[in-house]
Amino acid sequence: MGILDLFQANDLVMSKSAFFHMDDEGKQRRICQEAGQRLAEVIGGAVKLREGGEEVHVTGQYGQIPVQLIIWNTFANLRITLRTNAGLKGVAEGISLQHDEDAEDYAGEQLDRDDWDDDDEQKFYLSPHVYLEGQLKELRRHKTLWEQLPAELTSQAVELLEGASTTGSTLRIEKNEVQLYLNDATLVLSKSGAQRLEVVLRLLTEVVIAAAQRWGAKLVPQGPGAPAEPGATTGEATAAGMAPPGGPPPVAAPAIAVGAAVLVTWADGNRYPATVSQAAPGQYLCVFANGQQQWVGAPYVNPA
């Protein structure tokens, strides 16, 4: 099943049109709260009502990355936010991909532009309906940044938004977070919404990890702090984290079992022995010789 199939919802609790035009706000809220409970299971999250019950918030984590889900009751729109704990260099103003269901109209308007058309904002289409937008110089910079991420991830992200089918659906990479907004999202009303959400979260987690590796941020660690270099005392432990040593990251290693001996590529470019104590999508919890632990992106962990 491809990512596009996530939005071919044949197991909806009710049809999209019936939900959006429902007069019974209480029933809308109950449906969204039930959806929130299903989604909470994926991130071990807690369900909270906000804005007088108009929003369902679910907070938790996926693969040790903090996650927040927000469902708006009126239209069952869904926003998914994953956080990093350090700024992504070069994307301070954010990179934004959007879905445009009126792309054909925009294309037609570009054919007969003249001096009276003073709109500085331009669109660069990555697929028939998904685009980057900005002034020309900004647009070029965003396109260059987007192309620095692994092609297999960017193609899946574009496919995800292409399948969203509604203008307003957006993927943003910002300084401290990656955020996906699904407008008119049938995903959250689906009986299999939890399984579908997990596929989306897996992709977003990989985007977070790739952005952190490419632009120098590190993921939010949920365990002890960064391990010291071999031979250092606790007071000499480095605070560098697992920032890449510069240049492209190491070749991605195959899946590694819990308990396996590994070599971890450190920020100084050296490789240090460790043991895998936990595995999560795209990363491993590594225990080093001095007893310190650190979640490390999979490309930096290789069998010993």
Tally of residues, the chain: 304
Q: Nearest 5°: phi and psi at 39? A: -70, -30
- Beta strands across the sheet bearing 55-62: 46-50, 55-62, 65-72, 77-83, 177-182, 170-173, 95-99, 130-134, 122-125
Average pLDDT over the chain reads: 75
Domain boundaries, the chain: 3-215, 234-303
- The pLDDT of 190-219, averaged and rounded, is 79
pLDDT of residue 79: 92
Architecture in CATH of 234-303 = Roll (2.30)
Structure tokens at 213: 């590796």
Structure tokens at 98: 């959007």
Question: For residue 81, what pLDDT band results from cuts at 50, 70 and 90?
Answer: very high
Find out whether 24 and 30 touch, Cβ atoms under 8 Å: no
Residues 247-302 pLDDT 10s? 344 444 468 889 999 988 876 667 888 899 888 777 788 888 777 777 777 878 88
